[in-house]
């Protein structure tokens, strides 16, 4: 395999900044090179793991005994969608998500402005159906082109096949799918959304929020302040997902915690883990060694160097155990372990 490096430390390729080495590592600049690398991996019996910007990935201390492919596939194109009010936007999986948001909003397009400021790549965005400020990727998703490993099928996965849910998708369940590009449908007409206190506060400070570009810029600014970390620290944003529980279970919990916020999702209720960590467990700013929960948002785990993946894992397990003990709720990590495909 050309351009494949050996024994490459992965910590610098992730925002958490912990973990060991990749046995093999390659940056993938094109779909053609991806095919070459995957065929070569199959021939040598090497398993594969995909990395984008590393902003939602925890690398094991023992490293990854396979080929880590860092997806850098470029390209971005905009076309009318034929309705006169919309545009189809296609972007390579390696494009930075924020570059896409900035491009789209600069062209007056609406639909992803509330997702401004989320780190990472376009290719990873459908994996956990990124979401913020009442918007999810699923709202604009049309399709993703994927190559499966090791079967090497070239598929176009549409929105139904993508099986999106809260931080869920087929791409997350089936790690054989490597996304090479994503197509979104955006609108030329303003999409009016629920207002959020962060944006209302910005408006009161005189920040313009007339265009999608204004909103994208304002949110980028708001988020950069919310996720402030020091130079020798790392984070992956929210480390855990907000739990989704049945209405019956929520009603029981609400008797114990009358102010517990709940947001309906279908017939279930999504509850705010940040609220539980803050109000029930008093863990805002909780620290163990070099790892702590953010003062701004207790859902955000911050890692100060030097740290190990084992320490991050133990800290996270402790949070999960305390939550379970206090509320009976089992919480799930949002951050993903570097997972090798099966062959
Ligand atoms: C400060 C901060 C704030 C954040 N805020 C939010 C937020 O508000 N909302 C939100 O939803 N997320 C948020 N995140 C999480 C993260 O930004 C998103 O999950 C993002 O989509 C991850 O992109 P990435 O390229 O860095 O993915 P990576 O960490 O590189 O990968 C994440 C997962 O996707 C897989 N993957 C990556 N690329 C591909 C591909 N091309 N094909 C198939 N699988 C792939 C990887 O194997 C891995 O399992 C935040 C993270 C940080 C650090």
The token pair that represents 115 in the structure block: 């997702």
pLDDT value at 273 more than 90 = yes
What pLDDT does 340 receive? 85
Length in residues, the chain: 343
Q: How many CA atoms lie within 13 A of 305 on its CB side?
A: 13
Structural domains of the chain, ranges and CATH numbers in brackets: 5-71 (3.30.43.10), 76-225 (3.30.465.10), 229-337 (3.90.78.10)
Average pLDDT over residues 31-48: 96
The Cα 252–Cα 235 span in angstroms is 34
| 110 Ramachandran zone, left/alpha/beta (phi>0; psi -120 to 50) | beta
Active site residue 40: no
Long-range contacts at 315-322 (CB < 8 A, ≥ 24 apart):
315/288, 315/291, 316/239, 316/240, 318/288, 319/239, 319/240, 319/277, 319/283, 319/286, 319/293, 320/240, 322/281, 322/283
For residue 136, list its beta bridge partners.
131
Q: What angle do CA 83, 88, 90 make, to 5 degrees?
A: 170
- The pLDDT-based confidence of 194 (bands split at 50, 70, 90) is confident
- Of 27, 168, 311, 334, the active-site residue reads 334
| CA dist., res. 126 & res. 93, Å (int) | 10
State residue 210's pLDDT score: 95
Q: What is the 171 CA–ligand 1 centroid distance (Å)?
A: 12
DSSP letter assigned to residue 236: E
In the predicted structure, residue 243 carries a pLDDT above the cut 60:
yes
Beta strands 64-71 and 48-51: pairing type?
parallel
Predicted ipTM of the assembly? 0.99
pLDDT, position 147: 98
* Catalytic annotation present for 167: yes
Q: Distance from CA of residue 33 to its chain's centroid?
A: 25
| Residue 333 confidence (pLDDT) above 70 | yes
Answer whether residue 229 shows pLDDT above 90.
no
What residue owns the CA closest to ligand 1's atom 8?
A: 132
Confidence of residue 161 (pLDDT cuts 50, 70, 90): very high
Task: Output the pLDDT for position 246.
Answer: 97
Q: In the structure, which protein residues have their CB atom closer than 6 angstroms to any atom of ligand 1?
A: 15, 50-57, 71, 93, 118-121, 123-125, 127-128, 130-132, 171, 178-179, 227, 235-237, 336
Active site residue 294: no
Band (pLDDT 50/70/90 cuts) for residue 343 is low
Mean pLDDT of 16-31: 97
Ligand 1 mutation pick, 70, 72, 119, max ligand atoms within 8 A of CB: 119
Query: Which mutation among 120, 146, 274 tests ligand 1's pocket best, with the greatest number of atoms within 8 A of CB?
Result: 120
* Residue among 11, 55, 333 to mutate when testing ligand 1 (max atoms within 8 A of CB): 55
Q: What is the mean pLDDT of the chain?
A: 96
Provide the Cα torsion 109, 114, 119, 125; round to 10°.
-70
Catalytic entry in 47, 70, 167, 333: 167
Tell me the pLDDT tens digit for each residue of 53-107: 999 999 999 999 999 999 999 999 999 999 989 999 999 999 999 999 999 999 9
Q: Are 59 and 10 in contact (CB under 8 A)?
A: yes
Q: How high is the pLDDT of residue 339?
A: 78
């Amino acid at each position: 395999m050309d351009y494949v490096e050996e024994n490459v430390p992965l910590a610098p390729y992730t925002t958490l900044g912990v973990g060991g080495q990749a046995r093999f590592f390659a940056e993938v600049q094109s779909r053609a090179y991806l095919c070459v690398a995957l065929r070569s991996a199959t021939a040598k019996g090497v398993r594969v793991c995909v990395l984008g910007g590393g902003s939602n990935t925890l690398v094991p201390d023992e490293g990854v005994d396979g080929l880590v492919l860092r997806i850098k596939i470029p390209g971005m194109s905009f076309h009318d969608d034929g309705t006169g009010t919309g545009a189809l936007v296609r972007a390579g999986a390696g494009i930075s998500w924020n570059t896409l948001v900035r491009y789209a909003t600069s062209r007056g397009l609406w639909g992803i402005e509330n997702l401004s400021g989320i780190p990472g790549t376009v290719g990873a965005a459908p994996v956990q159906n990124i979401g913020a400020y009442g918007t999810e990727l699923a709202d604009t998703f049309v399709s993703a082109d994927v190559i499966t490993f090791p079967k090497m099928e070239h598929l176009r996965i549409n929105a139904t096949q993508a099986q999106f849910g809260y931080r869920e998708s087929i791409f997350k369940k089936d790690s054989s799918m490597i996304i090479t590009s994503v197509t979104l449908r955006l609108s030329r007409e303003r999409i009016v959304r629920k207002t959020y206190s962060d944006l209302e506060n910005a408006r009161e400070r005189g920040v313009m929020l007339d265009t999608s570009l204004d909103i994208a810029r304002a949110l980028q600014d708001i988020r950069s302040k919310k996720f402030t970390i020091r130079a020798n620290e790392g984070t992956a944003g929210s480390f855990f997902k907000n739990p989704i529980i049945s209405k019956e279970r929520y009603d029981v919990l609400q008797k114990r915690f009358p102010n517990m916020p709940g947001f309906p999702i279908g017939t279930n209720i999504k509850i705010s883990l940040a609220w539980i960590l803050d109000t029930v467990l008093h863990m805002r700013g909780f620290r163990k060694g070099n790892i702590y929960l953010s003062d701004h948002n207790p859902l955000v785990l911050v890692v100060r160097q030097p740290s190990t993946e084992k320490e991050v894992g133990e800290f996270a397990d402790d949070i999960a155990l305390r939550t379970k003990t206090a509320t009976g709720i089992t919480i799930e990590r949002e951050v993903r372990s570097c997972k090798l495909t099966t062959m």
